[in-house]
Amino acid sequence: MSHIPTRDEVIEPENLVYSRTCLLTDNALSYCPGCGHGTAHRLIMEVIEEMNLQADTIGVAPVGCSVLAYDFMNIDMQQAAHGRAPAVATGIKRLHPEKFVFTYQGDGDLAAIGTGETIHVCNRGENITVFFVNNGIYGMTGGQMAPTTLPGMKTATSPFGRDVETMGHPLKITELVAQLPGTYFVSRQSVHTPANVRKAKKAIEKAIQYQKLNKGLCFVEIVSNCNSGWKMTPLESNKWMEENMFPYYPLGDIKVPK
């Protein structure tokens, strides 16, 4: 029988092609297997590590699936009330203009209960970075309709599909904030394929670099899957996302510095 290499043999330095950033903690992620949050966390922390910003970073976690983001990100963090992360980040940044300040929010947090805070933080052009993970559903509370839920999409509170006549239309808040003079860089990405991960990382890098220029708010949306909430396998959910979410929420830069 051939020798099966042990874990220790496999992780010899010469075999190492990738390692987890030290800015992710050892805590096991609480996200469902297949969910995009873990990749989004990793990318943001990788960039902060590569830019050597750990000591200068203060992050704000939302209410939603990523409420426990501070369990996984090895940086100083504050947990905000539902939708209020942009206001919390404003308080931090105004008193610490030299720090790198970001919020990490989901669609319910950012585009429903926190719409006012979102619009005004963008309109003031606060020099913060907003990471917006849009999966079109309330994952944490069990799959209810979100402001970004697609027309006809079935959720726990739209069991026969979202009827735009009575439930309103999916809110393209990213296009909306891109129109405000206070935003400097607005981009929409995804993290479901290696190619998309690389593009998303570039957008995250820009959004962090631009904060140092004090030109305004940088906003990166990551369209993500919610295989549990959508009641699909991870692979099915990624396919469904490509076929349904991306036509409504097209990927790419929406506003770039002139």
Partner 1 sequence: MKGNEAIAEGAIRAGCDGYFGYPITPQSEVMEYLFANKIKERTGMIVLQAESEIASIHMVYGGAACGKRVMTSSSSPGISLMQEGISFMAGTELPCLLLNVVRGGPGLGTIQPSQSDYFQTVKGGGHGDYKMIVLAPASVQEMYDFAKLGFELAFKHRIQVMVLSDGAIGQMMEKVELDEQVPRWTDAEIKAMSPWATTGKTPDRERNIITSLDLNPVKQEIININLQKKFKHIQETEVRFERIQCDDAEYLFVAYGSSARICQKAVLLGRERGIKVGLLRPITLFPYPSDELAKLAKQVKGMLSVEMSAGQMVEDVRLSVNGAVPVEHYGRLGGIMPAPDEVLNVLEQNFIKEKTYEPHTN
Q: Which residues form the interface with partner 1 (CB under 8 A)? A: 54-58, 60-61, 67-68, 70, 74-81, 84, 87-92, 94-96, 99, 116-117, 120
The two tokens of residue 154 are: 């079935």
Tell me whether residue 92 or residue 203 sits nearer to partner 1 (CB atom).
Answer: 92
Which residues contact residue 31 at a Cβ distance below 8 angstroms, ignoring those fewer than 6 apart? 37, 38, 65
CB-nearer residue toward partner 1: 80 or 204: 80
Tell me the closest approach of the beta carbon of residue 250 to partner 1, in angstroms: 29
Q: Report whether 127 contacts 58 (CB < 8 A).
A: no
Write down the least CB distance from residue 113 to partner 1, Å.
10
| Residue whose CB is less far from partner 1, 54 or 244 | 54
Output the smallest distance, CB 106 to partner 1, in A. 15
Q: Where are the alpha helices (DSSP H) in the chain?
A: 7-10, 37-50, 69-72, 85-95, 107-108, 115-123, 164-167, 173-178, 194-211, 227-230, 234-240, 246-248
Closer residue to partner 1, CB minimum distance, 70 or 249: 70
Q: How far is the CB of 228 from partner 1 (least distance, A)?
A: 18
Of 161 and 182, the one with the shorter C-beta distance to partner 1 is 182
Q: Cα(85)–Cα(217) distance, rounded to whole angstroms?
A: 14
Shortest Cβ distance from residue 100 to partner 1 (Å)? 9
The residues near 61 (Cβ < 8 Å, ≥ 6 apart) are: 67, 68, 69, 70, 77, 78, 79, 80, 85, 104
- Nearest CA among 15, 67, 16 for reference residue 41: 67
